[in-house]
Structure 1
Amino acid sequence: MEAVRHYPVAVIGAGPIGLTLVNLLGRFGIAVLLVERNPTTVQEPRAVSIDDESLRTMQAAGVVETVLGGVVAGYGSHYYTRRRTRFARVEPTGQPYGYPRRNAFRQPVLEGQLREALGRFPHVEARFGWKLLDYAQDEARVTLSLEGPDGARQDVTCDYLVGCDGAASRVREVQGVGLEGTTFDERWLILDLENNENTTKHTEVFCDRHRPCITLPGPDRTRRFEFKLLPGETDADLLAPEMVERLLRTHGADPRATLRRKVVYRFHARVAPRWSFGRVFLAGDAAHLTPPFAGQGMNSGIRDAQNLAWKMAAVLEGRLGPGLLDSYERERKDHIWQMVRLALRMGQVMAPRSWLHGALTQGAFLALNIWPPARDYVAQMRYKPPPRFHEGFLLPDGRGRASLIGRLLPQPRVRRPDGSEVLLDEVLGNRFALLARADDPAALANLNQPLWERLGAVRLVVTPGATDSPGTVSEPAGEAGNGFRAALAPYAGCALLLRPDHYVAASIPLVDSKSAVLAVEALLAATGKAAPVHAGILTTISENAPG
């Protein structure tokens, strides 16, 4: 009999979340099986907005330059009353994580890029046209029953299974778990245009209770229009060609554009009550559905992939115990609900409940424009909840809201000793790191405990001025440097312990580090006894090494 093949990780679903997860695991050297029931990646438009955090994840996956080639970077949103008076403008200029805050893309292009990038990894196997029939797990492994395009069946095993297979997830279905929570159920007509010449750089939001409309830019003369269905209307009413033509004509579409797709979507705000079941995990739409008004559905799933990838790699490499994976849901779930609430609030602005509600909301935004700090709060997207963990794999330091613990570290451009400038993560790599901002290039010399070797932590000192010392970089001038300095100012005399996803896990005093080191040791011990390195794990590839 043919031996059953084993993989450290199996990922079900080759959408943007599954493909991102596999690319990240591939860079960590983890052998992965990717299973997708469709014969290819999606060919029609779906998600259209990718944010700065997701682009930073593409950087971690080693594909950001390719992805940026198909992106319209740095667009904003303009909000209009029913009479087409602009009452709010969102055009963020800052790049705290190294990339513009809002960017337009085409999902078929992104998925094609991510699929092609898998060719870098001889340890990744992708099976398109295969579907998951069933699976079962025990203490040692998960056994999957798969069916190929010719109907042939095959069993494989894995250490961990991740369901990235969408809202109708088969992985979640086998567990008998549905999506629960607050439901925001509305129908919107989605129209995707190609060869659209009559376009603007920004999203336009027409906040009209009679017929709310959103029109979003895209690369290569594409544009999306979204119209809310009203009570009593059927899908067929708005899908009728004459209605489609009228709606597009009244909202500035190019009459010569090609209609690529028209579909009615139902949007929900729902979350699975559990995201993990022993060796089985859910990510992306399989775990949560977010209304589209904040553009955070796919981006939230990419955050899931980033969170899971380094943890699975750390466990499979034997650096940390399997209890580390328990922190995945605890860290991600709160932020998901923050994104859901943000989307619901934005939906209320776009589709006011009544004439009075709309007038009061729009009047409030106009009033905010008078006061620069309030105007900038909106324009710079400071209303978007920043990524932050309050519990999980971290050690709170008692600094309250000013604390960097649990936060994603800002990513400025830095100057290497050879004079070249790169984004900070290119120096750190996707691994644990000890980072300090100090005048002394040898500031980390006293942190010589075996703990840091066990974690494989790289060391980096960021100096205010030019430096030619190994293990150092200098910070830039300008807004990015100012933001980085401000963020690290409370941590003078400390090193920050960074996780491989560039979130801050702990602060370590440089002078008397004993108690902090003991606390980090206890944090590691809480993940459980680390398993030996799995035979399917490869050495981390050189392109992921710090520069």
Structure 2
Amino acid sequence: MEAARHYPVAVIGAGPIGLTLANLLGRLGVGVLLVERNATTVQEPRAVSIDDESLRAMQAAGVVETVLGGVVAGYGSHYYTRPVAGRRIRFARVEPTGRPYGYPRRNAFRQPVLEGQLRDALGRFSGVEARFGWRLLDYAQDAARVSLSLEGPDGTAAAVTCDYLVGCDGAASRVREAQGVALEGTTFDERWLILDLENNENTTAHTEVFCDRRRPCITLPGPDRTRRFEFKLLPGETDEDLLAPEMVERLLRDHGADRRATLRRKVVYRFHARVAPRWRFGRVFLAGDAAHLTPPFAGQGMNSGIRDAQNLAWKLAAVLEGRLGPALLDSYERERRDHIWQMVRLALRMGQVMAPRSRLHAALTQGAFLALNIWPPARDYVAQMRYKPPPRFHEGFLVPDGLGRASLVGRLLPQPRVRLADGREMLLDEVLGNRFVLLARGEDPGALMRPDRGALERLGALRVLVVPSGTAMPVAGGVACVAEVEGGPFAAAMAPYAGRALLLRPDHYVAASLASGDGGAVVEALVASAGGAAPALPAATLAAGGA
């Protein structure tokens, strides 16, 4: 057995969630051991949709340009009735055009490509070690650390320790199993056949949803002439019935697939709405499918896991660096759990539209959508995806500011394009980085200068002033000034905060707003909610393999 080594964080599972977490931690300077029982990343298509919030997380991980090179950006969804006299009627159209977080709302991707990109990106970090073909046998923890027993591909045993362990090892999580915890919720009787095609030429740019109670079908676009088809199994049908080659051929033919396309994958799955009762066990955490399973209809399974990774990454880094106390980590589940259930409920509602229970249910639902198209605000509510619950925390690492529904506290800050003094343009997060930021919008940097400097320096906060488009940039010592290229959602969201500054967390959520004279007290309240500042770890322990 090799000598025991110590890592600040060990991540079990190198799917998209574990790989994202390792990249985020690596960029924050935290040492990571990434353990994956398979010899390589996945080689078959699984998740197919990546949203704007996840692309923003890829931006934080420093890989978004690479990832964008492998996606079809900005596709929509068209919903159709069952055929009537041989003709289908489109009753709803979802084609969001806004980019509130800097990226298109819906994007098609290939999971094997994304995982390969994220694995390659780990090579940037000397402190991140990936072990593929290794599996977790067991682990135990005490007040100081977690001890892991691992087994390599040739049967080699290894014992390692870490400060924190994160299970990103999927629905059958070994990390969760060792805690004796099962996912709670519903496993539905519905089964769906998934068919993934390559070299599919006669494709459309959007998802098509055939809301036929007799056989609901969804067909989704993908990069490089790929396309996915999903068909609901009917009562009495077996998996073998739908997997039979003649049935597969007929279903694809009836729904417009290219007859010359190559069938890459066919599988039957059940969908789930299940969540673990706890996501933290001392120094051990769950993320992604290890913590929650979401029905596929909203395309939010993987995307929800990426939100987990970004929420957890900066908190682990802040505690390991000693900027904030370990109680900060309690806010991870408190912040993420409510939004997970919102995504589950959204997926279930969308599933009811896709798979109506009866002819009457289909007629009422589809008729209601057709009626909404008459009134532009209602039509745009659907077309612009305003029905998707935006991420918002009501408790956790934040201090409410009393502005009610207009408040940005607990929300993900919109991301505009901005211009630097030298004329370069970029998305705002490129200026903010993955750190605490005190940010204001306006022409006067005074709101940034009034809050107590000492309390903000404890957090290492950068001060940023965003001036409206066409406004001269003031010169202010210690303040980074940028100009909006277009105000849009950012300007509207910041309107209630004239003369005030926002304290942004490293994940670009708003932790608090600071008015004149109260900045120090607000920041101290935040630090206190995390249990105060923790003693900083020696620098050597922040690198993988440290003593």
Match of 1:39 in 2: 39
Q: Counterpart of 2:319 in 1: which secondary structure? A: helix
Match of 1:420 in 2: 424
Query: Are residue 91 (structure 1) and residue 95 (structure 2) matched?
Result: yes
Whole-Å separation in 2 of the counterparts to 1:306 and 1:537: 22
Aligned 1:431-446 pairs, distance under 5 A: 431-446=435-450
Query: Are residue 342 (structure 1) and residue 346 (structure 2) matched?
Result: yes
Whole-Å separation in 1 of the counterparts to 2:60 and 2:373: 38
Offset from partner CA, 1:451-509 (integer Å, 9 cap, x none)? 111100000011121426361001123xxx12211100101110000000000000001
Offset from partner CA, 1:220-264 (integer Å, 9 cap, x none)? 000000000011000000000000000000000000000000000
Match of 1:367 in 2: 371
| Alpha carbons 2:443, 2:473 under 8 Å: kept | no
Whole-Å separation in 1 of the counterparts to 2:240 and 2:186: 28
One-letter amino acid of the counterpart of residue 512, structure 1: G
One-letter amino acid of the counterpart of residue 12, structure 1: I
Whole-Å separation in 2 of the counterparts to 1:355 and 1:390: 40
| Alpha carbons 2:443, 2:474 under 8 Å: kept | no
Match of 2:521 in 1: 518
Q: Counterpart of 1:215 in 2: which secondary structure? A: strand
Query: Are residue 504 (structure 1) and residue 513 (structure 2) matched?
Result: no
| Alpha carbons 1:213, 1:225 under 8 Å: kept | yes
Query: Are residue 253 (structure 1) and residue 257 (structure 2) matched?
Result: yes
- Aligned sequence identity (%): 83
Displacement of 1:2 after TM fit? 5.4
Displacement of 1:538 after TM fit? 5.4
Q: Counterpart of 1:186 in 2: which secondary structure? A: strand
Displacement of 1:449 after TM fit? 2.5
One-letter amino acid of the counterpart of residue 44, structure 1: E
Displacement of 1:320 after TM fit? 0.2
Displacement of 1:520 after TM fit? 2.3
Query: Are residue 472 (structure 1) and residue 481 (structure 2) matched?
Result: yes
| Alpha carbons 2:447, 2:500 under 8 Å: kept | no
Whole-Å separation in 1 of the counterparts to 2:226 and 2:472: 45
Whole-Å separation in 2 of the counterparts to 1:132 and 1:531: 30
Whole-Å separation in 2 of the counterparts to 1:153 and 1:246: 51
Whole-Å separation in 2 of the counterparts to 1:336 and 1:192: 27
One-letter amino acid of the counterpart of residue 525, structure 1: A
Whole-Å separation in 2 of the counterparts to 1:57 and 1:390: 21
| Alpha carbons 2:7, 2:542 under 8 Å: kept | no
What is the CA RMSD across the aligned residues, in angstroms?
A: 1.2
| Alpha carbons 2:451, 2:520 under 8 Å: kept | no
| Alpha carbons 2:450, 2:517 under 8 Å: kept | no
Whole-Å separation in 2 of the counterparts to 1:39 and 1:160: 24
Q: Counterpart of 2:536 in 1: which secondary structure? A: coil
Whole-Å separation in 2 of the counterparts to 1:335 and 1:368: 27
State the TM-score, normalizing by the size of structure 2: 0.96
Query: Are residue 156 (structure 1) and residue 165 (structure 2) matched?
Result: no
Aligned 1:232-381 pairs, distance under 5 A: 232-381=236-385
Match of 2:48 in 1: 48
Match of 1:456 in 2: 460
Change in Cα spacing, 1:13 to 1:305, as seen in structure 2 (3 Å) is same
Displacement of 1:446 after TM fit? 2.3
Aligned 1:73-92 pairs, distance under 5 A: 73-83=73-83, 84-92=88-96
Match of 1:543 in 2: none
| Alpha carbons 2:435, 2:506 under 8 Å: kept | yes
Q: Counterpart of 2:188 in 1: which secondary structure? A: coil
Runs of 4+ that moved beyond 6 A: none
Change in Cα spacing, 1:315 to 1:224, as seen in structure 2 (3 Å) is same
| Alpha carbons 2:512, 2:522 under 8 Å: kept | no
Offset from partner CA, 1:156-211 (integer Å, 9 cap, x none)? 00000000000000000000000002443421000000000010000000001100
Displacement of 1:400 after TM fit? 1.4
Q: Counterpart of 1:204 in 2: which secondary structure? A: strand
Whole-Å separation in 2 of the counterparts to 1:300 and 1:294: 11
Q: Unmatched 5+ residue regions in structure 2?
A: none
Match of 1:391 in 2: 395
Change in Cα spacing, 1:320 to 1:128, as seen in structure 2 (3 Å) is same
Match of 2:7 in 1: 7
Whole-Å separation in 2 of the counterparts to 1:453 and 1:311: 17
Displacement of 1:276 after TM fit? 0.6
| Alpha carbons 2:2, 2:159 under 8 Å: kept | no
Whole-Å separation in 1 of the counterparts to 2:379 and 2:71: 27
One-letter amino acid of the counterpart of residue 505, structure 1: A
After superposing the two structures, state which structure 1 stretch, 172-181 or 519-528, moved more: 519-528
Offset from partner CA, 1:117-159 (integer Å, 9 cap, x none)? 0000010000000000000000000000000000111110000
State the TM-score, normalizing by the size of structure 1: 0.96
Match of 2:494 in 1: 488
Q: Counterpart of 2:184 in 1: which secondary structure? A: coil
Question: Which of residues 146, 153, 162 in structure 1 aligns to 2:150?
Answer: 146
Whole-Å separation in 1 of the counterparts to 2:46 and 2:449: 50
| Alpha carbons 1:190, 1:225 under 8 Å: kept | yes
Displacement of 1:448 after TM fit? 4.1
Aligned 1:530-541 pairs, distance under 5 A: 530-536=534-540
Whole-Å separation in 1 of the counterparts to 2:265 and 2:386: 34
Match of 1:105 in 2: 109
